[in-house]
């Protein structure tokens, strides 16, 4: 993300706009310093991983209803939302009817009120949607744990209502709502429904079709990226398994890391599971399958199965001792095996200390040569990693690891300010470092995923 001075912003405003206007600069209303308020929209959006992009889309969409989005158009001060073009280009846009006189408003802005009414305009897709609803009802009715299975029953709560495709009551007397997802659905549709069911303590389940190629659409990413890469589906096998065993079965699509030659990639894996393999969570939670490892753990397992775990041990031991030579050797060997930047391609600024600081946060114990106490992780992160200009490129990676292990350092105001400052830099390693970082640090691998 690029920081903009007022003079640079004025220069950008003076540039001629393309035939299809976009918003090149956005106003960050939560910025803690004036020089961090104006940021390059393109640079910022490109720096986001798939999960971060989904989270931003939900955050901006939620804010639209109160005209209180975090990022606004600096030209007209309107709330804006985030979308992807047909070519996959991420960009900010004005909702239709907002910022009418703004030179950065796109004429093709979505009318968020009309999205739902056109969702199933295609008759063929509508027939597939109806077939899946009937199939889901058939599956649920084979299971004595579910009763009052209904199609498009209105659920009314506190003056608001929703009409899920299918709903039922489970053995605990709790309502479960299901919606079939086959089409390109606007984020507003997803957010409104998820919010309604969560606020009212109703379990909510998205059901996808059986064609995994559709899962690459942004509308599906908006669902499964925040659920550890999992989304449920149904097919004829699920129905037969349900009838044979008198228990509901579902088809689980899950993103899994795997070795693709000399690189780590990810792919969809499919498995038939029954309802007892699903963690339904608390009312309002999105269910997930507990019987498979998380994406992060699967990343570690993939590296270990390949026989490269010893390189991880070698690197961790080397950075703990401040041994630059051994650290470089372990890093470069792993980079050769899985892909990514070699040691001499990393930013100058003591990579051994940077990696050791991140490891210290991951394990909540000092693994870097310094004078701080073994348990003073806050000072290690704050001083060694986040302070120096030539180390700021590691900040985004550090944040994903810290979030994965729920580190307390993220709650410190000093760290928060430095993270905000450091991420607004062109030196961010997130999209550059490659699979080698995930091979060493499985913590947060799902959050770092970009496909």
Give pLDDT tens digits for 247-288.
999 999 999 999 988 889 999 999 999 999 999 988 878 899
pLDDT value of residue 341: 97
Average pLDDT over residues 131-158: 95
Distance CA 156, CA 37 (A): 41
Q: How confident is the model at residue 117 (pLDDT cuts 50, 70, 90)?
A: very low
Q: Model confidence over 184-216: pLDDT tens digits?
A: 677 888 888 988 999 898 999 999 988 888 898
Distance CA 79, CA 242 (A): 47
pLDDT value of residue 87: 84
Average pLDDT, whole number, for the chain?
89
Distance CA 394, CA 399 (A): 9
CA dihedral 309, 231, 292, 355 (to 10 degrees): 30
pLDDT value of residue 238: 97
Output the CA angle 424-428-432, nearest 5 degrees: 150
Query: How is residue 231 annotated by DSSP?
Result: E
Query: How is residue 380 annotated by DSSP?
Result: I
- As beta bridge partners, residue 151 has 166
Query: How is residue 375 annotated by DSSP?
Result: T
Check if the beta carbon of residue 402 is closer than 8 Å to that of residue 409: yes
Between 361 and 17, whose confidence is greater?
361
Q: How confident is the model at residue 2 (pLDDT cuts 50, 70, 90)?
A: very low
Average pLDDT over residues 232-244: 97
Instruction: Tell which residue, 235, 234, 236, 231, has the closest CA to residue 253.
Output: 231
Instruction: Tell which residue, 149, 153, 166, 155, has the closest CA to residue 200.
Output: 155
pLDDT value of residue 257: 96
User: pLDDT > 90: what percent of the chain?
Assistant: 71
H-run or E-run covering 307: none
- For the cut 70, the answer to whether the pLDDT of residue 4 exceeds it is no
Q: Which residue has the tokens 């980079």?
A: 335
Q: Which residues, in sequence order, are CB contacts of 11 under 8 Å at separation 6+?
A: none
Q: How confident is the model at residue 114 (pLDDT cuts 50, 70, 90)?
A: very low
Q: Model confidence over 320-357: pLDDT tens digits?
A: 999 999 999 999 999 999 999 999 999 988 999 999 99
Q: Model confidence over 279-296: pLDDT tens digits?
A: 998 887 889 999 999 999
Residue 169 backbone dihedrals phi, psi, to 5 degrees = -120, 130
pLDDT value of residue 107: 62
Q: What is the largest CA-CA distance in the chain?
A: 71
pLDDT value of residue 445: 97
pLDDT value of residue 78: 93
Q: How far is CA 302 from CA 259, 264, 265, in A?
A: 7, 9, 11
Q: Model confidence over 58-112: pLDDT tens digits?
A: 999 999 888 899 999 999 999 999 998 888 899 999 988 888 889 998 765 554 4
Quote the pTM value. Answer: 0.88
Q: Model confidence over 365-412: pLDDT tens digits?
A: 999 999 999 999 999 999 999 999 999 999 999 999 999 999 999 999
pLDDT value of residue 108: 57
Check if the beta carbon of residue 197 is closer than 8 Å to that of residue 120: no
- For the cut 50, the answer to whether the pLDDT of residue 7 exceeds it is no
Average pLDDT over residues 154-175: 92
Q: What SS3 state is found at 331?
A: helix
- As beta bridge partners, residue 204 has 177
Q: Which residue has the tokens 């995923």?
A: 449
Q: How confident is the model at residue 311 (pLDDT cuts 50, 70, 90)?
A: very high
- As beta bridge partners, residue 176 has 168, 203
Average pLDDT over residues 215-241: 94
- As beta bridge partners, residue 253 has 231, 270
pLDDT value of residue 372: 96
Instruction: Locate 56 and state its tokens.
Output: 């931003």
Distance CA 296, CA 369 (A): 27
Instruction: Tell which residue, 236, 219, 225, 227, has the closest CA to residue 286.
Output: 227
What size, in residues, is the chain? 451
Instruction: Locate 109 and state its tokens.
Output: 């802005």
pLDDT value of residue 315: 98
pLDDT value of residue 109: 52
């Amino acid at each position: 993300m690029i920081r903009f001075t007022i003079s640079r912003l004025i220069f950008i405003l003076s540039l001629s706009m393309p035939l299809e206007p976009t918003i090149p600069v956005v106003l960050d209303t939560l910025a803690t310093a004036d020089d961090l308020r104006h940021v390059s929209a393109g640079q910022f959006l490109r720096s986001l991983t798939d999960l971060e992009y989904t989270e931003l889309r939900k955050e901006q969409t939620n804010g639209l209803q109160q005209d209180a989005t975090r990022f606004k158009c600096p030209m007209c001060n309107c709330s804006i939302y985030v979308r992807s073009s047909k070519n996959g280009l991420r960009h900010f846009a004005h909702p239709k009817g907002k910022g009418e006189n703004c030179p950065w408003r796109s004429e093709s802005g979505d009318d968020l009120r009309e999205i739902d009414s056109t969702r199933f305009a295609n008759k063929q897709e509508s027939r597939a949607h109806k077939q899946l609803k009937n199939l889901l009802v058939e599956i649920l009715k084979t299971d004595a744990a579910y009763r009052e299975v209904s199609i498009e029953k209105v659920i009314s709560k506190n003056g608001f209502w929703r009409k899920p495709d299918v709903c039922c009551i489970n053995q605990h007397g709790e309502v479960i709502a299901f919606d079939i997802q086959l089409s390109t659905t606007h984020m507003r549709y997803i957010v409104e429904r998820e919010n309604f069911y969560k606020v009212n303590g109703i379990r909510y389940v998205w059901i996808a079709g059986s064609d995994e190629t559709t899962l690459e659409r942004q509308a599906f990413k908006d669902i499964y990226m925040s659920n550890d890469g999992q989304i449920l589906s149904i097919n004829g096998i699920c129905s037969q398994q349900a009838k044979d065993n008198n228990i509901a079965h579902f088809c689980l699509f899950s993103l899994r890391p795997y070795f693709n030659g000399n690189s780590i990639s990810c792919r969809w894996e499919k498995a038939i599971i029954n309802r007892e393999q699903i963690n339904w969570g608390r009312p309002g939670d999105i269910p997930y399958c507990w019987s498979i490892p998380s994406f992060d753990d699967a990343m570690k397992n993939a590296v270990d199965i390949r026989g490269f775990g010893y390189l991880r041990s070698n690197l961790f031991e080397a950075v703990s001792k401040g041994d630059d030579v051994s650290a470089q050797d372990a890093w470069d060997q792993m980079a050769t095996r899985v892909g990514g930047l070699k040691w001499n391609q990393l930013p100058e600024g003591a990579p051994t200390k940077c990696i050791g600081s991140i490891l210290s946060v991951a394990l909540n114990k000092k693994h870097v040569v310094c004078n701080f106490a073994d348990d003073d992780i806050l000072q290690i992160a704050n001083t060694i990693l986040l302070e120096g200009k030539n180390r700021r490129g590691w900040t985004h990676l550090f944040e994903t690891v810290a979030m994965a292990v729920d580190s307390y350092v993220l709650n410190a105001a000093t760290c928060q300010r430095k993270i905000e400052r450091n991420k607004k830099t062109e030196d961010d390693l997130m999209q550059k470092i490659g699979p080698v970082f995930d091979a060493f640090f499985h913590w947060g691998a799902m959050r770092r995923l970009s496909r």
